[in-house]
Amino acid sequence: MERKFIIGSSLIACIFLYFIEQVISANYAVKTFAKILIFVFIPYIYITYLKKGTVSKSLNFKKIDRNHMKLGILFGFISFAVILSAYFILKGSLDMEGILNEMQAKSRITAKNFILIGLYITFINSFLEEFFFRGFIFLNLYKLNMKKTAYIYSSLLFGLYHIGIFKNWFNPYLIGLALLGLISVGFVFDYLDTKSENFINSWLVHILADSSIILIGLRMFKII
């Protein structure tokens, strides 16, 4: 029952968010509200009614090891450097004006609100995604002795979930490259979290990776 709930509910959640992003073309505020509601409500139902536990105990934040955190920070800085390097190498292949126009027209993201949105993405959105994909999906499947499924499913869903966000930004080749990169990153995130049995390590990497993306956005909007 637990396995079916984790896989079924998470798949439905990502399909629903894709629908909001690509079919309804909701603005950023609506998408954010929907994501917060789904990424919190589904794990809460699982923790409270299937595991019969509490959210605080399930998060396992008491088991935070500084040595493990150093590993997360190291991978975070590597991700930061790789993303910035990839941007400068591939920016000639990117339709920067098209990406900006879509962000402004579709999501209502502008130079005026980008810094606030950037802070949300870096710290809160990254937390939500790690809580959902690693804390809820990966670690629970891993503890249910479905280790291979945990790695493959959580990483694959993590990558496919992001397709809904940047589907119209890149050409098919770059979309495939980005998808491969996200799935690979998902495996790394999963591995890091097996060390501490919580998602703090992957969250640290996610924060630093998103920071590099926000810097690119600041450059695109000519804020810096």
What is the pLDDT, as a whole number, of residue 202? 95
Quick one: DSSP state of residue 198? S
Write the CB contacts of 142 (distance below 8 Å, at least 6 apart in sequence): 150, 190, 194
Tokens of 54: 């509490």
Q: Choose the weakest-confidence range: 38-47, 120-129, 130-139, 160-169.
A: 160-169
pLDDT band at 109 (very low <50, low <70, confident <90, very high): confident
Cα–Cα dist 53/155, whole Å: 26
Burial string for 48-70 (b: 16+ CB within 10 Å, else e) reads eeeeeeeeeebbbeeeeeeebbe
Does the pLDDT value for residue 23 go beyond 90? no
What is the pLDDT, as a whole number, of residue 25? 80
What is the pLDDT, as a whole number, of residue 28? 87
Query: What is the domain extent for residue 106?
Result: 2-220
Q: Are 179 and 163 in contact (CB under 8 A)?
A: yes
SS3 of residue 113 by DSSP? coil
- Token look-up 């396995």 returns 3
Tokens of 22: 């690509």
Cα–Cα dist 73/37, whole Å: 29
pLDDT band at 71 (very low <50, low <70, confident <90, very high): confident
Q: Are 100 and 221 in contact (CB under 8 A)?
A: yes
Cα–Cα dist 56/141, whole Å: 19
Count of domains for the chain? 1
Total-model pTM = 0.92
Q: Tell me the average pLDDT across 100-124.
A: 86
- % of residues, the chain, pLDDT over 90: 60
